[in-house]
Amino acid sequence: MTKDIATPGRTTEILKKYGFLFKKSLGQNFLIDPNILRRITETAELNKNTNVIEIGPGIGALTEHLARTSKEVVAFEIDQRLLPILADTLSPYENVHIEHGDVLKANLAEVIEREFSDSEAPLKIVANLPYYVTTPIILSLLHAEVPADSMTFMLQKEVAERISAVPGTKSYGSLTIAIQFYMEASLAFIVPKNVFMPKPNVDSAIVQLVRRDKPLADVKNVEFFFEVTRAAFVSRRKTLWNNLAQKFPELKNRREEVEAKLAGINIDLKRRGETLSIPEFAMLSEELEEILKK
């Protein structure tokens, strides 16, 4: 087997060979611990019948582990300087294709059809995401309805805790709801900052997202549902009523009417957004939409 890219010595050797300098603006932190990479592929539950999309392969440390454990890999890399490095480091793996470009601007359906020899094979997304663009990428993948069974991401620990949070905790918020509405989320394990080059300021974590058969709650107007959930967390210290009245000023003089309506679904306006479950937010948004139509 080829010598792992993800060791301090090999990574330093590759960077030196190509005179590569890290770009802070791209959030580049390369993993230098093969054990962490093996745990990531185990968490993602890959096999030789599985296709994988990777985002931000860097110098190919995670990519080679994906190539060893799955059928075919398409990796999106935005930094042109890394293309010749990847061509070199991943040359032993014929099942890898590097797609130069921004995954946020890509037509993923077209890439899947074009690059995977069997585009019907189960698809998984695995990525060490740059901190600065984590949320836009995850939400973009959800809204693009990419046919991925699961997504396994390395994220800043704090963001991972928010994504996998439960109601009633300080990490629970609109991001939690935006993701858990469609996906089951679990924090798999913590990744210490000392296994990266350069070393970031904070620890990371691996989050596993598995697509639900259907959204967690039955919602007629999904756009309005998310509008309500975002409004409920604008100021975490404020009550549900204060946040909603700020977002929907037309409610301000109708508190008694709103209270009476919400009493029927056991939602008290004195509660804070973080105490409501996703099904409760679904009921709240349905009732509010009815009230605002009058």
User: Residues 36-90: pLDDT tens digits?
Assistant: 999 999 999 999 999 999 999 999 999 999 999 999 999 999 999 999 999 999 9
What does the pLDDT average to over 196-219?
Answer: 94
Predicted pLDDT at 28: 77
The verdict on whether residue 31 carries a ligand-binding annotation is yes
Residues of 236-256 as b/e, b for ≥16 C-beta within 10 angstroms?
A: eebbbbebbbeebeebeebee
Under the banding of pLDDT at 50, 70 and 90, the label for residue 1 is low
Cis omega (within 30 of 0) for bond into 8 = no
Measured distance CA(138)–CA(178) in Å, rounded = 10
109-150 residue pLDDT tens:
999 999 999 988 999 999 998 888 899 999 999 888 788 999
pLDDT tens track for 241-284: 999 999 999 988 899 999 999 999 999 999 999 999 999 999 99
pLDDT band at 26; cut points 50, 70, 90:
low
DSSP 274: G
Residue 207 pLDDT > 80: yes
102 a known binding residue? yes
The first and second tokens of residue 275, run together, are 């105490």
| Strand runs labelled E in 6-83 | 30-31, 51-55, 72-77
- What does the pLDDT read at residue 272? 96
CA dist 15 and 59 (Å) reads: 9
Residue 199, Cβ neighbours under 10 Å: how many? 11
Domains defined for the chain, CATH in brackets: 8-211 (3.40.50.150), 222-293 (1.10.8.100)
Q: Is the pLDDT of residue 2 over 90?
A: no
SS3 content of the chain, % helix, strand, coil (to 5): 45, 20, 35
What tokens does 82 get?
Answer: 């890394």
Closest CA to 167 of 123, 122, 202, 217: 217
Q: Is residue 284 marked as binding?
A: no
Residue 168 to residue 171: CA distance in whole angstroms: 9
The answer to whether the annotation marks 56 as part of a ligand binding site is yes
pTM: 0.93
Mean pLDDT, residues 199-213: 94
H or E element at residue 99: strand 96-100
Q: What does the alpha-carbon distance between residue 36 and residue 262 come to, in Å, rounded to a whole number?
A: 48
Residue type, 148: A
> What confidence score (pLDDT) does residue 143 get?
84
